[in-house]
């Protein structure tokens, strides 16, 4: 025991060369109370960090403390029926914080050392991230921490980020780095757009050709889609785009994310954005094809045939395997930008409408969604769809992702459906982030500066307090038509994700962009230290 106490070196080292630790990180904790009467100087490298024995997640948290801070994990002494020995380890991770919010944490720094206490294991993880960010500016192995009590909890239970890996493929190994970046920003949902007209990236074992063939396009349109309707003016690169994730890789990524308290919500976009699948199974389209994996962007008129019974069979096969790989309660089934033009003239679709007594083609999409919802329910899952799913009537338990502004989200909340806010105006980080386009890589268009992301209020004023409860949270979306590499992903993401992080964490009405930017430079130092690319100026 003496040895353990002795390993906490208190106030022996001069601290004048070190910057003050003040816990003013991103997200800014709700409460930071400093006690000017003392400081604890920690020999951080190699210092012990204790965790409750027999709790694998807390052990893993202690390993994160090792990875981020250089601490040495050490299981707390087991009680084994005797009175529990007092834990005098200099850094302690514990559970038992009283809070309704499982992500809540408290950090206490006093003469005994540092205690990170969580309402659950995820709270402890967020506490470790805050400590990591607080002392990241310090160089060397010795940290002078002021005595303090820091308390925080996120405002929203759903704190998402979407990545599109269909338009451009990013390797499995990089997805782990992406997840590390999300974890650094307190995100707990990664919405993964895995399929689209331009590529199918999810291995379906019972349909092996789907990913093998549907994940390949020989070239991609250069520049924007200008000239698409004038074939003589379309220029393509000569670089094939290919790749898909095997189920083995996906399981590994799911586990990697889960250790970091991130749930991956996979998206299979249907019934539109399906041409890559139609290129492999043309009988699932209204015209029968032939189809090819699209080397250009935009909304394609070719969609799954709603009147062909094979379509639902196909969807259930794919989603069945999705559920095998992804344990997420929510499964995203897209539903956006699905033109009904083919359905209007397709004999099978028209016969289906007649059979079901439907008045509008939009109701065919609701019919598919209801069937999918029933299927997902057999697996204990629920569906999320983009706000177009409101058009023909929502299926019973659908959650709506409001992207075409706030309107769809308001409508859904009033119908008592859960909502995730991701309006293009504040959340589409595929848009330019600076006014001067020449200072940035080619982007899809638009203008979404850091300040605009920061200004997002996900709960519209129009909602009553009761309706507001249906807003689960917010997320930013990174579509990748024009995002070509991992470096480019990070450039689009950072620092806008830092702004979204405060939208997701800070209490309503307690944000100041000016004050936030004062804290951003420390976060940028962190990005540099971790080797992340980011946009170095902001507006
Ligand atoms: C979308 O941006 N099409 C959801
Ligand atoms: Zn049809």
CA dihedral 127, 131, 134, 140 (to 10 degrees): -170
CA atoms of 468 and 462, how far apart (whole Å): 9
Tell whether ligand 1 has an atom less than 6 A from the beta carbon of residue 403.
yes
Ligand having the closest approach to the CA of 297: 1
Residue 78, pLDDT > 70, answer no
CA of 422 to the centre of ligand 1 (A): 10
Return the percentage of the chain with pLDDT > 90, whole number.
Answer: 86
CA atoms of 180 and 197, how far apart (whole Å): 29
Q: How many domains does the chain have?
A: 2
Residue 15, pLDDT > 70, answer no
CA atoms of 274 and 276, how far apart (whole Å): 6
Query: Among residues 178, 246, 276, which one has the least CA distance to residue 478?
Result: 178
CA of 207 to the centre of ligand 2 (A): 22
Same structural domain for residues 146 and 168? no
CA of 364 to the centre of ligand 2 (A): 10
pLDDT, mean over the chain: 93
Read off the CATH number of the domain in which 376 is found: 3.20.20.80
Query: What is the predicted pLDDT for the residue at 227?
Result: 61
Contact 325, 254 (CB under 8 A): yes
Ligand having the closest approach to the CA of 479: 1
Q: CA–CA distance from 362 to each of 88, 300, 343, 416 (Å)?
A: 64, 16, 9, 21
Ligand 2 (single-atom ion) residues, CB below 5 Å: 286, 305, 307, 346, 348-349
Query: What is the predicted pLDDT for the residue at 89?
Result: 87
Contact 490, 478 (CB under 8 A): no
**Atom 4 in ligand 1: residue holding the nearest Cα:** 336
Same structural domain for residues 408 and 525? yes
Ligand having the closest approach to the CA of 430: 1
Asked if residue 539 belongs to a domain, the reply is: no
Tell whether ligand 1 has an atom less than 6 A from the beta carbon of residue 259.
no
Mean per-residue pLDDT, 116-140: 91
For residue 32, which phi and psi values (nearest 5 degrees)?
-130, 110
Same structural domain for residues 442 and 347? yes
Label each residue of 188-219 as H, E or C: CEEEEECEECCEECECCCCCHHHHHHHCCECC
Q: How far apart are the first and last CA of the chain?
A: 54
Contact 392, 365 (CB under 8 A): yes
Contact 137, 28 (CB under 8 A): no
Same structural domain for residues 338 and 422? yes
Read off the CATH number of the domain in which 135 is found: 3.30.379.10
Same structural domain for residues 199 and 136? no
Tell whether ligand 1 has an atom less than 6 A from the beta carbon of residue 200.
no
Asked if residue 388 belongs to a domain, the reply is: yes
Contact 476, 427 (CB under 8 A): yes
Query: What is the predicted pLDDT for the residue at 225?
Result: 78
Mean per-residue pLDDT, 85-93: 86
Tell whether ligand 1 has an atom less than 6 A from the beta carbon of residue 428.
no
Asked if residue 333 belongs to a domain, the reply is: yes
Domain containing residue 282: 158-530
Tell whether ligand 1 has an atom less than 6 A from the beta carbon of residue 431.
no
Same structural domain for residues 83 and 117? yes
Same structural domain for residues 173 and 291? yes
What confidence tens digit (pLDDT) does each residue in 299-327 have? 999 999 999 999 999 999 999 999 999 99
CA of 353 to the centre of ligand 2 (A): 10
**Atom 3 in ligand 1: residue holding the nearest Cα:** 336
Asked if residue 514 belongs to a domain, the reply is: yes
Same structural domain for residues 170 and 128? no
Residue 337 CA: nearest ligand 1 atom is 3
Give, for ligand 1, the residue of 337, 388, 391, 426 to mutate: max count of ligand atoms closer than 8 Å to Cβ.
337
Residue 30, pLDDT > 80, answer yes
Same structural domain for residues 500 and 368? yes
Tell whether ligand 1 has an atom less than 6 A from the beta carbon of residue 337.
yes
Same structural domain for residues 190 and 132? no
Residue 479 CA: nearest ligand 1 atom is 2
CA dihedral 94, 100, 101, 105 (to 10 degrees): -30
Q: Given 128, 152, 176, which residue is the final one in a domain?
A: 152
Same structural domain for residues 14 and 58? yes
CB count in 10 Å sphere of residue 206:
9
CA atoms of 252 and 210, how far apart (whole Å): 21
Instruction: Give the catalytic positions in this structure.
Output: 196, 273, 337
CB-based burial label for 14 (10 Å; 0-12, 13-18, 19+): exposed
Q: Given 152, 167, 201, which residue is the final one in a domain?
A: 152
CA of 322 to the centre of ligand 2 (A): 25
Asked if residue 461 belongs to a domain, the reply is: yes
What confidence tens digit (pLDDT) does each residue in 146-170 have? 999 999 999 999 999 999 999 999 9
Residue 273 CA: nearest ligand 1 atom is 3
Query: What is the predicted pLDDT for the residue at 260?
Result: 98
CA of 311 to the centre of ligand 2 (A): 10
Asked if residue 425 belongs to a domain, the reply is: yes
Residue 403 CA: nearest ligand 1 atom is 4
Asked if residue 270 belongs to a domain, the reply is: yes
What confidence tens digit (pLDDT) does each residue in 417-441 have? 999 999 999 999 999 999 999 999 9
Q: Given 104, 121, 152, which residue is the final one in a domain?
A: 152
Q: Which residue has better confidence, 13 or 509? A: 509
Same structural domain for residues 466 and 489? yes
Residue 19, pLDDT > 80, answer no
Mean per-residue pLDDT, 77-96: 77
Query: What is the predicted pLDDT for the residue at 110?
Result: 95
Asked if residue 211 belongs to a domain, the reply is: yes
Q: Which residue has better confidence, 387 or 39? A: 387
Mean per-residue pLDDT, 338-358: 98
Residue 386 CA: nearest ligand 1 atom is 4
Tell whether ligand 1 has an atom less than 6 A from the beta carbon of residue 297.
no
CA of 286 to the centre of ligand 1 (A): 23
Residue 428 CA: nearest ligand 1 atom is 2
| Bridge partner residues of 144 (DSSP) | 41
Residue 2, pLDDT > 50, answer no
């Amino acid at each position: 025991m003496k040895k353990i106490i002795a390993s906490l070196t208190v106030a022996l080292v001069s601290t004048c060369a070190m910057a003050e630790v003040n816990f003013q990180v991103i997200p800014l904790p709700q409460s930071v109370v400093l006690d000017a009467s003392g400081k604890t100087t920690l020999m951080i490298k190699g210092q012990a960090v204790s965790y409750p024995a027999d709790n694998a997640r807390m052990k893993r948290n202690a390993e994160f403390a090792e990875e981020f801070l250089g601490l040495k994990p050490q299981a707390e002494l087991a009680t084994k029926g005797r009175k529990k020995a007092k834990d005098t380890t200099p850094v302690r991770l514990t559970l038992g914080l009283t809070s309704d919010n499982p992500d809540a944490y408290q950090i206490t720094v006093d003469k005994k050392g540092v205690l990170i206490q969580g309402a659950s294991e995820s709270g402890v993880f967020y506490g470790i991230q805050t400590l990591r960010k607080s002392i990241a500016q310090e160089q060397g192995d010795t940290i002078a921490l002021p005595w303090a009590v820091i308390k925080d909890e996120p405002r929203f239970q759903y704190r998402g980020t979407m990545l599109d890996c269909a338009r451009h493929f990013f390797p499995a190994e990089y997805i782990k780095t992406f997840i590390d970046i999300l974890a650094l920003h307190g995100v707990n949902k990664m919405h993964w757009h895995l399929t689209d007209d331009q590529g199918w990236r999810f291995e379906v074992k019972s349909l092996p050709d789907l990913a093998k063939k549907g994940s390949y396009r020989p070239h991609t349109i250069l520049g924007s889609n200008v000239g698409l309707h004038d074939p003589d003016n379309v220029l393509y690169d000569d670089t094939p785009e290919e790749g898909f994730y095997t189920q083995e890789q996906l399981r590994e990524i799911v586990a990697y994310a889960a250790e970091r308290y991130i749930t991956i919500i996979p998206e299979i976009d249907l019934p539109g954005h399906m041409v890559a699948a139609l290129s492999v199974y043309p009988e699932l389209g209204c015209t029968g094809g032939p189809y090819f994996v699209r080397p250009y962007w935009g909304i394609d008129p070719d969609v799954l045939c709603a009147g062909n019974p094979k379509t639902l069979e196909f969807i259930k096969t794919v989603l069945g395997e999705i559920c095998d790989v992804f344990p997420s309660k929510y499964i995203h089934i897209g539903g956006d930008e699905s033109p009904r033009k083919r359905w209007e003239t397709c004999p099978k679709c028209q016969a289906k409408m007649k059979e079901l007594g439907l008045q509008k083609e939009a109701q065919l999409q609701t019919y598919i969604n209801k069937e999918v919802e029933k299927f997902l329910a057999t697996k204990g899952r629920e569906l999320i769809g983009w706000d177009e799913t409101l058009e023909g009537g929502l299926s019973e338990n659908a959650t709506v992702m409001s992207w075409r502004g706030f309107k769809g989200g308001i409508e859904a909340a009033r119908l008592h459906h859960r909502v995730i806010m991701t309006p293009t105006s504040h959340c589409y980080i595929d848009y330019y982030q600076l006014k001067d386009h020449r200072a940035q890589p080619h982007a899809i268009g638009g203008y979404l500066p850091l300040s605009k992301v920061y200004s997002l209020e996900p709960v519209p004023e129009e909602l009553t307090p009761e309706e507001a409860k249906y807003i689960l949270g917010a997320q930013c979306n990174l579509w990748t038509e024009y995002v070509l590499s991992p470096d480019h992903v990070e450039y689009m993401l950072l620092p806008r994700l830092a702004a979204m992080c405060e939208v997701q964490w800070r209490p309503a009405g307690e944000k100041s962009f000016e004050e936030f930017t004062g804290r951003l430079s420390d976060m940028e130092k962190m990005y540099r230290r971790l080797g992340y690319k980011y946009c170095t100026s902001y507006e």
